Structure 1
Amino acid sequence: MNWIILIIAGFFETGFAACLGKAQETSGRESIYWWIGFFASLFISMFLMFKAISGPNGLPIGTAYAVWTGIGAVGGVIVGILIFKEQATFWRLFFVSTLIASIVGLKAVSH
């Protein structure tokens, strides 16, 4: 269950990165809504990360943090490509793929 919570926390990390990017692109009331989304996503992400590492069956902090930030980083690249029209070069996708492999590897070797 802690792994599921951690994955959801990683998705919210991607959400706060996307909201931050949109808040910078907009102005006025729309920017305020993106900032609210940023802070809500940030809080939820941090709270779920805390839940994933807490208790007797909690995940090791080093592994959990690496997976959490990895999901956020991969999600940030995907959001950047799909929403912010950033370049999807071969090398960029190659290194994102190695990051995904590393996340899966950490999950595989964690107890």
Structure 2
Amino acid sequence: MNWLILLGAGAVEVAWAQSIKPTEGFTRPFPTLVCLVLMFAAVFLLSLSMRTLPVGTAYVVFTGIGAAGAIVLGIAVHGDPVSAGRLTALGLIVGGVALAHATGVSA
């Protein structure tokens, strides 16, 4: 169950990362509120997953999901450039998250 919570935390982190730019430097009240709520929710879910998962494993998976999601959404939604380097980085991130999961505890 904690792995599912951690996956949810990672998904919320991806949403949080995407919510930062619309705040325009935290000058727009509603987008700023959305950003802060998503930030709180991501860290709250991460903390719940750490009840039984090792801190290092949980944090690596959490940030890996966020990083991979940011790359994918940047390319798909924002038209960020696609390059061999970015795709290699994405593959390494996904591989690292999979390895952290495979070598973590099965809580």
Taking structure 2 as the reference length, the TM-score comes to 0.89
Q: CA deviation at 1:33?
A: 2.5
**Letter matched to residue 76 of structure 1:** A
Unmatched segments (≥5 aa) in structure 2:
none
Q: For residues 52-79 of structure 1, give each alpha carbon's deviation from its aligned partner in whole angstroms, at most 9, with x where no partner exists.
A: 012xxx1000110011011011111112
> How far does residue 103 in structure 1 lie from its aligned partner after superposition?
0.3
Residue 66 (str. 1) matches residue 63 (str. 2): no
**Pairing of 1:17-28 with structure 2 (within 5 A):** 17-24=17-24
Q: Taking structure 1 as reference, are residues 82 and 34 closer, same or farther at Cα in structure 2, changes over 3 Å only?
A: farther
Q: How does 1:93-108 map to 2 (within 5 A)?
A: 93-108=87-102
Matched residues, percent identical?
29
The one-letter amino acid paired with 2:19 is C
The amino acid across from 1:75 in the alignment is G
Q: Which residue of 2 aligns with 1:37?
A: 34
The runs of 4+ residues in structure 1 deviating greater than 4 Å are none
Deviation of 1:38 (Å) = 0.8
TM-score normalised according to structure 1 size: 0.86
Q: Over residues 8-62 of structure 1, what are the superposed CA-to-partner deviations in whole Å (9 max), with x where a residue is unaligned?
A: 001111111100022239x97xx432212211110110110010012xxx10001
1:53 aligns with 2:50: yes
Aligned mates of 2:44, 2:20 — CA distance in 1: 19
Structure 1: 5+ residue stretches without partners: none
Number of aligned residues: 105
- Distance, in Å, in 1 between the alignment partners of 2:88 and 2:66 is 17
